[in-house]
Structure 1
Amino acid sequence: MRLMNMSNHLLLAPIPESPDYLLQRDIKIAVLGSAAVGKTAMVVRFLTKRFIGDYEPNTGNLYSRLMRLEGEHLAVQIQDTPCIQMSAEGARLPDLVVRSLQWADCFLLVYSITDYSSYQALQALRQHLHKAQSDCKAPVIVVGNKGDLLHARQVSAHQGLQLAGELGAVFLEISTSETCEDVSDVFQHLCKEASKQQPPCVLSERRRSAFIPRPKSPNMQDLKRRFKQALSSKAKPGL
């Protein structure tokens, strides 16, 4: 595995799934790539490796999970998008992929080092990604998967680095079938970078109310004194 520009000082720990989080950020990740490059395998290995209990697949291969990263609570949604298809005219993007380009906070672009057409699909996707994210700099990681099949390599590491450079992205080659740690590093890095771009967390309404100070109980002696003063002032004009 060759890792470039990746921080290894990340902490991910499972936390109880409770509605009582004090602070929480929402992180949306879109996983993009062609067929048979290992997108779903990466998502599932990350979810099953790093969390307690079952992950929650929603409609359209949208996975939801709660996690803690460097002391922050994160509500992570991972969209495993439909496969990008290549034709003579270029890449054809399914509707869900187009919507995901607008929806996501960060992107994981996956190709197989044994399939040059899967690399070409990401090259074609680059233009769509730039257009959708023209107003912001969303974190992106380019992953060359199936690094254990070097004998069948069709895409060089240099080509992967070149694509990542054009996207301002991090690049690495991994083998999903060999280890979960590299997969975990990828998602953690995306979550960390995306959380930096979000505004400071606010207290949830449920927990916020617990920190609003209750009014002090009235002093009964003081109330009696004021009541007597009010009666006295009303009685004076009649004298």
Structure 2
Amino acid sequence: MQENESEFTIALLGEARVGKSALTIQFLQQHFISSYVPTIEDEYRTECQLKTGNVCVKIIDTAGQEEYSLSSRTSFLEMNYYYNLIESCDLLYLPLTIIGNKTDLKESRKIDYKEAKNLARKWNADYIETSAQTLPSVEKAFYELLYKIEKKSMLLDSKTGDNNLNKCSLM
């Protein structure tokens, strides 16, 4: 990371087997991993070009338990626990994006788009559906969140005068 380059952090939260690692690898390496290897916690870094220039992006792929898959109602319902945890830690100021992964498994879908979109609206979050198998939908999810972080950081920078603040978001 260059001295004047911002660092944005994205934490991927979700239940085991919902595709957090697959989304991360698809975004960073442009390929789909189909085998499941449980994650304890992995951290990745990449550089992304945004509107204000290059930023260093740190992606934290957490142990399975905090995101949701369109094919798992349990994982959708469990998001309430994590939202409450985020709220109790006073972190609701962070940009939040809910990703409904596994759109490729249409026959296994358990969560209606409207239901998920309504939850995102209630939480003041964005909602995006993806398949970790397709790069365009994954890139769209990550970049939309990065643009939200960038916008939020520009507001913070203008208020504090400090453009060296590290920025974080939840996905």
Q: With structure 2 as the length reference, what TM-score do the two structures score?
A: 0.78
The one-character-per-residue Cα deviations of 1:132-178 (angstroms, maximum 9, x if unpaired) are 235x521111111111222111111122112211220111222222x
Alignment partner for residue 158 of structure 1, among 110, 114, 120?
114
Match status 1:197 vs 2:152: yes
Identity within the alignment, %? 25
CA RMSD, aligned part only?
2.2
How many residue pairs match? The answer is 149
Q: In structure 2, what is the equivalent of residue 127 of structure 1? A: 84
Q: In structure 1, what is the equivalent of residue 50 of structure 2? A: 69
Could you tell me how far apart the structure 1 residues matched to 2:53 and 2:69 are? 33
Superposition pairs of residues 89-168 of structure 1, within 5 angstroms: 110-134=67-91, 137-168=93-124
Could you tell me how far apart the structure 2 residues matched to 1:68 and 1:49 are? 17
Between 27-36 and 136-145, the greater mean CA deviation after superposition: 136-145
Instruction: Provide the secondary structure at the position in 2 that maps to 1:61.
Output: strand
Moved over 3 A (4+): none
Contact 2:129 2:137 in 1 (8 A): no
Instruction: Provide the secondary structure at the position in 1 that maps to 2:30.
Output: helix
Superposition pairs of residues 41-60 of structure 1, within 5 angstroms: 41-49=22-30, 60=41
Instruction: Provide the secondary structure at the position in 2 that maps to 1:154.
Output: coil
1:72 CA displacement: 1.1
Letter in 1 for 2:149: A
Q: What are the ranges of 5 or more consecutive residues in structure 2 without an aligned counterpart?
A: 32-39, 165-171
Instruction: Provide the secondary structure at the position in 2 that maps to 1:68.
Output: strand
Which structure would you say has the larger Rg? 1
Could you tell me how far apart the structure 1 residues matched to 2:74 and 2:15 are? 8
Q: With structure 1 as the length reference, what TM-score do the two structures score?
A: 0.57
Letter in 2 for 1:46: F
Letter in 2 for 1:158: K
Q: What are the ranges of 5 or more consecutive residues in structure 1 without an aligned counterpart?
A: 1-18, 51-58, 85-108, 203-239
